[in-house]
């Protein structure tokens, strides 16, 4: 079985300061991991994905995440927050097994607030 | 090159009515997935369909919910005799056939169902 724990339900930062959104996962097999962003009343946008290539993954809008197998973590970071980054962020895992790799398991989300 | 299209964006139904949610996949995609997002929760898998075939409906409530993806036309998620607890955002995603090393789905903007 796979699961995702987002360690913070709400993170608040000032504009221009670093962002860290924490995610731990559990998976019986080699996982694929993703971060999605959801702006208010909008759909989900894929920020970045890890699929067993490089452990440091770069995404859109300056975000990146590092896959750490020993810590079962996939934290999302950005060096400098922008007001437009304010949104809900979801960490997502999928088992890589061929039989059920279509099923995504979402964390409960972290709401990022960016203060001027 | 339209993405995944869902309609309506917002749907209000009285208790006991039927709700029909539509999803048109991206061009060239023959696989559709429905997810439900309850308030302050992450998305939960409901059902996976190919054209004219339900592959996995393990996340669908046992009663009142059904889904189809006909040979022609959009995928439909149907909720009969809606209750207040069905109020949620329903997201659709599409993909080509899944493969090992998941690449992430493209999600639509969702349908927000409110039952009054």
Q: Report whether pLDDT(B38) > 80.
A: yes
pLDDT value of residue B102? 55
Give the pLDDT confidence of A67-98 residue by residue, as tens digits.
998 999 999 999 999 999 999 999 999 876 65
- Round to whole Å and give the CA distance between B18 and A105: 28
Question: Distance (Å, rounded) from C-alpha A113 to C-alpha B103?
Answer: 28
**What's the rounded Cα separation, in Å, for the pair B91 and A92?**
15
Closest CA to B92 of B24, B10, B8: B24
Which residues numbered 3-32 in A keep a CB inside 8 Å of some CB on B? 4, 32
Please state, in angstroms and as integers, the Cα–Cα distance from residue A17 to each residue in A13, A41, A77, A82, following that order. 7, 26, 11, 9
Distance between CA A56 and CA A38 in Å, rounded? 22
pLDDT at B35 over 90: yes
Q: Is A49's CB within 8 Å of B106's CB?
A: no
Residues 6+ apart with CB under 8 A from B61: none
Report the gap between the CA of B95 and the closest CA in chain A (Å): 9
pLDDT at position A13, please?
97
Give the residue with greater pLDDT, B45 vs A40: B45
Please give the C-alpha separations between residue A33 and each of A5, A55, A111, B88, B91, in angstroms, as whole numbers: 12, 11, 19, 25, 19
Taking 60 as the threshold, does the pLDDT of residue A11 lie above it? yes
Residue of A nearest to B47 (CA): A103
| pLDDT, tens digit (0-9, with 9 covering 90-100), for B56-106 | 999 999 999 999 999 999 999 999 999 999 999 999 999 887 654 456 688
Who has greater pLDDT, A42 or B85? B85
Cα separation, A111 vs A87, whole angstroms: 6
Residue B98 confidence (pLDDT): 65
Q: Is A42 at the interface with chain B, CB within 8 A?
A: yes
pLDDT of residue A81: 97
Of the listed ranges A44-53, A55-64, B23-32, the least confidently predicted one is A44-53
Which residues, 6+ apart, have CB-to-CB distance to A116 below 8 Å?
A14, A15, A83
pLDDT at position B93: 93
Work out the minimum CA distance from B64 to partner chain A, whole angstroms: 22
Rounded Cα distance between A110 and A90, Å, is: 7
Q: What is the average pLDDT across B104-111?
A: 87
Residue with tokens 């429905």: B34
C-alpha span between B60 and B69 (Å, rounded): 15
From the list B42, B48, B103, which residue is nearest A106 (CB)? B42
Return the pLDDT at A25. 94
Q: What is the mean pLDDT of residues A11-29?
A: 93
Encode B65-85 in three state secondary structure: EEEECCCCCCEEEEECCCCHH
For residue A100, what pLDDT band results from cuts at 50, 70 and 90? Answer: low
Which three-class secondary structure state does DSSP give residue A79? coil
**pLDDT at residue A30, as a whole number:** 77
Q: Does the beta-carbon distance from A96 to B101 stay under 8 Å? A: yes
- For B13-106, where are the alpha helices, taking DSSP H only? none
When pLDDT is averaged across residues B8-29 and rounded to a whole number, the result is: 95
What's the pLDDT at A108? 92
| The token pair that represents B26 in the structure block | 């991206």
pLDDT band at A31 (very low <50, low <70, confident <90, very high): confident
Nearest in space to A50 (alpha carbons), one of A79, A19, A73: A73
């Amino acid at each position: 079985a796979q699961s995702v724990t987002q360690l913070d339900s709400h993170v608040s930062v000032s504009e221009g300061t670093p962002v860290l959104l924490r995610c731990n996962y559990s998976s019986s097999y080699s996982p694929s991991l993703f971060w999605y962003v959801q702006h208010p009343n909008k759909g989900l946008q894929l920020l970045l994905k890890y699929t067993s290539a490089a452990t440091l993954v770069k995404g859109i809008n300056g975000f990146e995440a590092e896959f750490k197998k020993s810590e079962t973590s996939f934290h999302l970071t950005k060096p400098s927050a922008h007001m437009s980054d304010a949104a809900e962020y979801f960490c997502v895992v999928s088992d890589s097994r061929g039989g059920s790799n279509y099923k995504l398991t979402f964390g409960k989300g972290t709401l990022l607030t960016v203060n001027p | 090159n339209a993405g995944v299209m869902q309609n309506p964006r917002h749907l209000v139904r009285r208790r006991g009515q039927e709700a029909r949610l539509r999803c048109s996949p991206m061009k060239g995609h023959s696989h559709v997935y429905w997810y439900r997002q309850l308030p302050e929760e992450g998305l939960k898998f409901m059902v996976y369909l190919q054209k004219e075939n339900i592959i996995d409906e393990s996340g669908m409530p046992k009663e009142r919910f059904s889904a189809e993806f006909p040979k022609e036309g959009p995928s439909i998620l149907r909720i009969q005799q809606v209750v207040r607890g069905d109020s949620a955002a329903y997201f659709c995603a599409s993909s080509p056939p899944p493969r090992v090393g998941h690449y992430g789905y493209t999600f639509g903007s969702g349908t927000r169902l409110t039952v009054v």
